[in-house]
Structure 1
């Protein structure tokens, strides 16, 4: 019984947060109402929400996945990962979002190329491209290195691409990217995203 109560409470918390408050307003044409009938309606609503969630576990996952997009200051980054992933799929690429595992300095997306090689991508969608490029460095060293020791590709908003390449050239000439010494390689390290 306790598990059911906890399950219903958790389901309510997740679903209530994603439903606009106006949905909870009650339209009543009469000026009097019964407290017991209000309580019954409330109990039925809780049971309906809990039963929908119980019947479809995917619902909870969908609610949690959509909640990521509403997180202040970083929700747009999650949306950019999904949007760029979809754009690459439309282009026929074998791609998927892998950043949901939150591994430190891990990739956000993976593209499996036709020859079987893997391309790891880190999305950096910031309002200011200087912040985006600077976020790629920790203690003045490039932090996104794949399992083979190569730098991952940094995907930036399409309208910030030119500035991102210039900033990356500067970082390369300052020796901040291990294994990369030619500033002209910046255009291979920075990818123009499908979104702005």
Structure 2
């Protein structure tokens, strides 16, 4: 699941502050950011906006170890926070967290639901899948971080709910919620009965009064 390799080039900067960040964005088309965590001090950096923006179009970028090269020196980081412009497709600021390969990290990882259309509840029983969660929080070593977690809906029937405890996690990966106890076994998806009948049933129900009316007229 960790087939992607993400690399970002950045430059350190000493002129922190709102005015400096504004100049970076407007005049140099760069994104102000910060790197923190580990034993080193926080460092203010800047990244080229467009290459960074293109990396963000990949879902895996948000749950993947990133190689961040600051002034040519590489370090492993996670993207922890991202600020976007409310009206424009512009990245305003980013926070990166340094990671240690020997220390567990806590990350939100997306859920990928598979076999929904062919599931028992949908294909055989006419139900509809509903998602209660699209990502879950996991804990693992950086080297074991999955790009996503698969949720197989193949055997789920109408009226059944899939919980965190039903999801098969990769070896070395644990659910943060479940580590707090069974009462945190949250629902993530279910298959429910579709309200209302099918189009054919509706057509039949609409045709019934007319048929009765025709019968009554024939008796007259």
TM-score, with length taken from structure 1? 0.24
The structure whose Rg is larger is: 2
TM-score, with length taken from structure 2? 0.22
More strand as a share of residues = 2
More helix as a share of residues = 1
Of structures 1 and 2, the one scoring higher in RCO (CA 8 A, sep 6+) is: 2
